[in-house]
Amino acid sequence: DILMTQTPISLSVTPGQPASISCKSSQSLLHSDGKTYLDWYLQKPGQSPQLLIYEVSNRFSAVPDRFSGSGSGTDFTLKISRVEAEDVGVYYCMQSIQHTFGQGTRLEIK
């Protein structure tokens, strides 16, 4: 099984400042088709999860461009260039080969 590990578990960010979340997989998520199957989801307080980023770096429909994803193989990063109050919630990475999630990273506003 592919295990996903996120760091940090939580972070507190001042509005307008950047934020970064790391996700590491126990096996490479690069497939022979050349694609890497790593997604990012955000669960805002009291809401269902929502897709932010798919295949490492592709923003889903209507996701603001302050969100960006990068990485390769087993190491991935979600970056928020300028955190806004509406970005509060728990961020999860998920490998979409076997569909396991990281444990989540809670983002709060300072």
Task: From 61, 65, 66, 53, select the one nearest 96 (Cα to Cα).
Answer: 53
Task: From 65, 62, 64, 93, select the one nearest 78 (Cα to Cα).
Answer: 93
Residues 3 to 42 in contact with other proteins, rule: CB under 8 A: 31, 35, 37, 39, 41
Question: Interface with other proteins includes 99 (CB under 8 A)?
Answer: yes
Rounded Cα–Cα distance for residues 89 and 29 (Å): 25
Question: Interface with other proteins includes 96 (CB under 8 A)?
Answer: yes
Taking residues 35 to 64 in sequence order and writing x for each that binds other proteins by CB under 8 A, - otherwise, the string is x-x-x-x-x----xxxx--xx----x----
Task: From 81, 62, 83, select the one nearest 70 (Cα to Cα).
Answer: 81
Binding residues vs other proteins (CB under 8 A): 1, 31, 35, 37, 39, 41, 43, 48-51, 54-55, 60, 90, 92, 94, 96-97, 99-104
